[in-house]
Structure 1
Amino acid sequence: MTNTTISSEVLNLQLASRLIFSYAILIFIAFGTIGNLLNIFVFIRIKVLRQMPNSVFLLTSFVASLMQIWTTRFSTAFLNLTGVDLLKQSRFYCEIRWLFGRMGATITMACICLVSINRFLITSPNVRYRQIFTMRCARMTVIVVILVFLIPLIPDVVYYWTPSCTRTGAPYCIVPFPVLVLFGILTWRNLCSVRIIQRNRLEEQVNRMILSELVMICITSIPNIITAIYPIVTSSMTKSQLRVAQDGLWLNMLAIPSITTYCTSFYVFYAASSAYRKNVQTALNCTKHNRIETQTRSRQQNASLRMRIIALH
């Protein structure tokens, strides 16, 4: 190949890499925003769901996921498609991106880990384990988690600004993969080995939803591991410009599944659980739901009134 041909191919690979990554990210942001908002609405709207301790962890993860995809992913896709770097244009957006972007990612992963731990405890044959996470305990745990991840990042609001809006410190994140695998296996073992504990249909459906979510996260974590290891393994290699462009294309394509953790929980829950599908339909049909509650309340009041009249006679 001539130098001109190689340079043209390098430019084409770089352009394809940016376009594929950016459009895929925008699609995931759109679906993720809709899905997370629907999850929040359903878990708040349906009483039986919001009364579970797991709902505290899940609602926190939904909100944190929205923070992560809009503060971190959107600016990258916008830069690749338009050439406008929002982080350099606004100091406020730069600080928000590195503060809430990192915090959103870590809180999402931490809450999903807490969900997997709670599922293991709830399916345990030990009664004391099943009673560890109450609603109060779950709320306190979430507050502690938020403070743990927020306090070290507070200085970023004041000092986190350079003309290029680059990181001034090391990334602040956790690796949930071993925790999810461990407690996912332990939960599955509890479900398979313990048959004497009577669980209602809701608990069984929630177990199915959470296990499906854990499997999805574990599968989509594999490309992340590859993209983290590959640059380290090949760091000593001398690469041509064409090889660098080819690596960039494949690494960007492998990076796309990483955003699914923050975007696909609603669709996984909806596909895995028939009870959740019914809850979604109930929550979305607000008028009918309110009318049924009103009619039920009216019948109860009428029945109570008739009992009082009978008592007076």
Structure 2
Amino acid sequence: MSLVLPSELVVDRFLPTVRAMLATRLADRGLTQQEIAAELGVTQAAVSKYVAGESGGDDRFRDHPETVDTVERIADGLADGEMDGYDALAELLALIRTLEDRGPICELHEEEMPALRGLGCDLCVRGLDADVRAERDALANVRTAARTLASTPGMAALIPNVGTNIGMALPEARDETDVAAIPGRIYAMSGRIEIPANPEFGASKHVATAVLAALDTDPDVRGALNVATDDDVLAAAAELGYEPLEFDAAYEDRGEHLRERFGERGAVPRVAYHRGAFGIEPATFVFGTTAADAVELLGELFDQASGSR
């Protein structure tokens, strides 16, 4: 993995673009190239290139509305003497903080470090704290679980027609926005499993409902996935000591119904299923301490079921 600091992108991509923008706008306001060079702290030769449009730069900054507004404001201030270098620097630092908060600098950073994509990275804004770490870990765990599911031979046979999803809740999740899942669901196509996107929080109400019900019953159970109900898999679960729990598919408040059923069992089962209802495809939920743990158990059940077929 390449290790690139956001500050490198500020120096290499942002600063040259903004200097060029300021040079052209100061020239438009009547400053000489020598005066512009003194204001920007560069050589007159550099200003000549800026004004001639030979400096390159990045259009993401050049076309960014807030960047344009800031440059215009600084150019006006420097040209009429109402702003000095200290004031201009303060304006640019405030702009950089904005651009690092899911703005162009953040986009460039994800391009330079692809490993950051899908993590909802906001290190530049919040720093590395416990909440950020928990969010990052949940997203990474769901991504690993989805890849494991997709790479397990034969697993596509368990993907229901409506698709499946994998979810993992934050430790103190309150609603579906605290549960990471795959946007758009996971589908089987031509015998293989397709993962449409990297995980995001709030991406699946369906799997989040089951995960949150489990979490309310047992704080250690934070992961789950749904697959098609398969009798051989249910039998395999029973054989391995994971007695499946059946619940009613037709309940409108699925979350409350699951909480009641879990309460009757006295624990969150590793496997819970229903046989479907009108317009509802039969589904089975596999639970785990994490999303990856749930997928690992599903693989164990699938192997057991395959061996007895």
Question: Scaled by the length of structure 1, what TM-score is found?
Answer: 0.25
Question: Scaled by the length of structure 2, what TM-score is found?
Answer: 0.25
Structure whose alpha-carbon radius of gyration is higher: 2
Q: Which has more helix, going by share of residues?
A: 1
Q: Which has the higher contact order (CA 8 A, sep 6+)?
A: 1
Q: Which has more strand, going by share of residues?
A: 2
